[in-house]
Copies of this chain bind each other. A is one copy, B any other.
Amino acid sequence: MKSALSFLMAARRSEIAGLQRLSLTSELVGAIGRLVHALQRERGLSNLYLGSQGQQWAAERAAQVALSQGLQAEVERAFDQLDTDAARSGHRARLFGRIAYALQGLSALPRLRERVASRQWSTDRTVAAYARLIQALLAVVFEAADSAWDPGISRHLVAFLNFLQGKEFAGQERATGSALFAAGRADADSQQRLLHFIESQERCIQVCTDLASPAIGTLWQEAQRPEHLMPLERMRRILCTTTPGGTLDAGQSQPWFDACTRRIDAMKTVEDALAAELQGLCQLRLEATARELSELERVAGRSADRPQSDGAPDFFDDGADPGLPAMAHAGNGFGAPMDQSILELVRDQARRLQRMGDELDTVRASLNERKTVERAKGLLMAHRHLSEDEAHKTMRQMAMNQNKRLIDVAEAVLAMADVLPVRSR
């Protein structure tokens, strides 16, 4: 029969195997961040190219495509490194499902690029296509964050996801603004979208700095240099307040693109720091858990020789105070693990897992906003026979019209679920 101690050790070994998987996942997530960054640049350049009727930006765009391709290969390598052997991989069906979806997007990317090169697609359609691919990649990060069982790592993954999502809003802001300037004419719909992107990116960054370490918050503050922000804010004002139909200076296209890019590149340094912190955290947790395991193994080796004495407190005694951290008992260094009964070890573990579960619930709550939006979108798709993009646009339009946040609209949609008419086709 396996002993309590053997299950304690199995629990730690299971944690270690899980942490090794999380470490690989963190590497993957970092690679996705880098690819998304490149795709955002590629989108911006594609729009400049389309906006100039193919007269400019062709070379810059081609160079960026080459960079994206290199980073795509890295992401695909990271996908390949994931252990998909069912017997060993734990339950990762959702992560694999998201990856399958993202891979579909990546494999369609060459055709999208041809359509841009030959100017078959409009800027709007191109922005939407890149945005869809980037969302598919971010969904992999979302799944990684949602399925991480370690609260510290999950917290970091959620912070990272929010940062990437915020940066994507900044990227969409850049693309939309570039297209507006290049077209030389203000229009109300694009202006609304710009405002939405500005507000959304600020909210995402806020969630990220709330969850990440103080060092990240400091880095973010430093990345916001006034001499870079000032020209951006001036152009934002021009873009958003020019009367619809009014003329915009097409010559501002490049300064706008450059100002946005400076800001996004500065964000990239924060992103890299977040990715590095995540990797470091996985390493620390792995080392700590390995130490705890070898401690347990030492206890197991010794207790095999010595049966527990009859006078020792057992499961049904209230003697040991569960309110005290058990390591306090083991603090004298000499033979300490022997003095700490296996019962205490088991109780410790139970308390620790309870605490981890509580923390995890708290961290996951910050993912629920996204889940609520997805659920509302699914409801609209089913009830109104909309495509995913249409459902998203509908909700975004509702949010703009009512001057509400997307999450508020999503909650309203879900609250109306029972009364939503099912439209027959």
**Total contacting residues, chain A, CB less than 8 A:** 79
Q: Is the interface of A mostly helix, strand, loop or mixed?
A: helix
Per-residue CB proximity of A63-105 to B under 8 Å, as 1/0?
0000000000000100110001011111111101111110111
Q: State how many angstroms separate the Cβ of A339 from the closest Cβ of chain B.
A: 17
Cβ-based interface call for A314 (8 A)? yes
Q: Chain B residues near A91 (CB, 8 Å)?
A: 14-15, 17-18, 90, 149
Cβ-based interface call for A234 (8 A)? no
* Cα–Cα distance between A206 and B280 once the two chains are bound (Å): 47
Cβ-based interface call for A349 (8 A)? yes
On whether the beta carbons of A96 and B375 are closer than 8 Å, the reply is no
* Cα–Cα distance between A99 and B389 once the two chains are bound (Å): 47
Q: State how many angstroms separate the Cβ of A360 from the closest Cβ of chain B.
A: 10
Cβ-based interface call for A334 (8 A)? no
* Cα–Cα distance between A106 and B335 once the two chains are bound (Å): 28
On whether the beta carbons of A346 and B2 are closer than 8 Å, the reply is no
Q: Chain B residues near A111 (CB, 8 Å)?
A: 314, 316
The stretch of A5-13, A215-223, A247-255 that contacts the partner chain = A5-13
8 Å CB contact of A100 from B4, B129, B375: B4
Known: A10-B89, A112-B316. A354 touches B378 (CB 8 A): yes
On whether the beta carbons of B7 and A97 are closer than 8 Å, the reply is yes
On whether the beta carbons of A371 and B375 are closer than 8 Å, the reply is no
* Cα–Cα distance between A387 and B313 once the two chains are bound (Å): 14
Cβ-based interface call for A133 (8 A)? yes
On whether the beta carbons of A2 and B350 are closer than 8 Å, the reply is no
Q: State how many angstroms separate the Cβ of A299 from the closest Cβ of chain B.
A: 13
Known: A89-B10, A96-B11, A354-B378. A84 touches B2 (CB 8 A): yes
Q: Chain B residues near A374 (CB, 8 Å)?
A: 354
On whether the beta carbons of B104 and A342 are closer than 8 Å, the reply is yes
